[in-house]
Amino acid sequence: MSNKLIGIIPAAGSGIRARPYTYELHKGMFLIDGKPNIERHIDNMRDAMDIDEIVIILGYMGETIREYFGDGSAFGVRLHYVENQHLDKGWAWSVLLAKPFMAGRNGLITLADEFYLDTNIGAIADTDFDKYSAAVAMKPVDDPELIKKNFSVERDGERVVRLVENPVSTPNDLLGMATFVVRPDVMAELEAAFDGGRPTLDFVTFVDDLIRQGHAVAAFDVEGDYINLNDVASMEAAQDAAIRSRLLGASE
């Protein structure tokens, strides 16, 4: 198996909670200090993880994404686009649509609305994938409501023992982030889950199922700023953080 990574950016959702911004703009294309968030992902994948090939899964307002990025050559990468015509199947289906492009490589998966700023997220690619089937990003937070909007993580040292999407209660202060690295065999397991009759599947729940089946999943600790761009307030917070970081950097 190649040590090279391929990037996977699911960007098919409609971003209902982020309206009115998303009436005319896909939330992954929202300009954060002048740059679309998806472009930030591409920059980070290219520069911090040496990724030169990325699959973007399109749905809502997908043509605006395709028109902006083209074949990726202007951004130093090669881009592929796949249309998700079955959004009712959950975002795990978007991930599965990238399977034909993996060619034996591990896949770095990050949702279009994940915002990272001055973080170590690139180091998730350094996980020991001879030991682990997957890795998932996480960090402690003070507000349990953030975890309830995303997913909770329980861990035993460096190993994840449980993931719960949109938990009713939080077992600890760990916020799970929709950034994963998976081995190719995980994609085969995902395909088998749908082939087995699962009509819909959340990817976080799928990874939790893998853990229960005995797969080892690594916990990756994120340092730096992270915001899930899931509503108007979070988009405005990301904008403020990015501008502040740029201004502080310019003054040093």
Comparing 89-93, 207-211, 227-231, the range with the smallest average pLDDT is 227-231
- Measured CA to CA, the distance from residue 43 to residue 72 in angstroms comes to 11
Q: Closest Cα to residue 9, out of 136, 155, 111, 156?
A: 111
Query: Is pLDDT at 21 greater than 80 in this prediction?
Result: no
Other C-beta atoms closer than 10 Å to the C-beta of 234 total: 19
Of 119, 111, 118, 137, the C-alpha closest to 220 is: 137
Q: Residue 76, SS3?
A: coil
Local structure of 113: helix, strand or coil = coil
User: pLDDT at residue 251 above 70?
Assistant: no
The residue type found at 214 is G
Average pLDDT, the chain: 92
Q: Which DSSP helix (H) or strand (E) runs through 10?
A: strand 5-11
Q: How far apart are CA 180 and CA 178, in angstroms?
A: 6
Write down how long the chain is: 252
When pLDDT is averaged across residues 69-89 and rounded to a whole number, the result is 96
CA-to-CA distance for 180 and 173, rounded, in angstroms?
A: 19
User: Which secondary structure element, helix H or strand E, spans residue 149, and what is its range?
Assistant: helix 144-149
The pTM is what?
Answer: 0.94
Distance from C-alpha of 137 to C-alpha of 122, rounded to nearest angstrom: 11
Question: What CATH number does the domain located at 5-251 have?
Answer: 3.90.550.10
Segment 166-189 shows an average pLDDT of 97
pLDDT for 15 equals: 54
Most trustworthy range by pLDDT among 24-33, 52-61, 176-185: 176-185
Tabulate helix, strand, coil % of the chain (nearest 5).
Answer: 40, 30, 35
